[in-house]
Amino acid sequence: PPHSTALPSHFMKGAIIQLATGELKRVEDLQTQDFLRSAEVSGGLKIDSSTVVDIQENQWPGFVTLHFIVGEQQSKVCLDVPPEHPFFVYGQGWSSCNPRQTAQLFALPCHRLQVGDVCISISLQSVV
């Protein structure tokens, strides 16, 4: 079964996030550009576009299974997460399967994550 640990507190509204540029921002103030710029200067990491193609109830209570198509290679990746887990959607910001629960737990304003949303994810930069 997936780990049923609580989500880390970096999703809590007001949490201080350090960008790769050294700049500090609150988690709720982050924008798409912050992630893109951070990946640019971090070296070794790259941002992928991960499109949500399916959201399913999980066999384990309290979890949902998200299906993504990731990056240029269009790889299929599944992720088991609690419904309150926030993902950063391009041009939209924080989004979760259950925004109400996210607000209760983290006070983080969220949109509802939907099939077709394009999330920000990271992977290792391939060395050519």
Q: Residue 42 in 3-state DSSP?
A: helix
Q: In the set 92, 98, 101, 123, which binds another protein (CB under 8 A)?
A: 123
| Closest by CA position to 41, among listed 17, 22, 16 | 22
Q: In the set 1, 6, 24, 61, which binds another protein (CB under 8 A)?
A: 24
Instruction: Read off the tokens for 36.
Output: 């893109």
Nearest approach in angstroms of CB 8 to another protein is 7
Nearest approach in angstroms of CB 18 to another protein is 5
Instruction: Read off the tokens for 69.
Output: 């198509």
Which is closer to another protein, CB of 34 or CB of 117?
34
55 binds another protein (CB under 8 A): no
Neighbouring C-beta atoms of residue 82, cutoff 10 Å: 21
The span from the CA of 122 to the CA of 63, in Å, is 22
Which amino acid, one-letter code, is at 112? Answer: R
2 binds another protein (CB under 8 A): no
Please provide residue 62's backbone torsions phi and psi, each rounded to the nearest 5 degrees. 85, 10
Nearest approach in angstroms of CB 76 to another protein is 9
Residues that bind another protein (CB under 8 A): 8-11, 15-20, 24, 27, 30, 34-35, 38, 42, 45, 47-48, 50, 68, 70-71, 73, 75, 77, 79, 87-88, 119-124
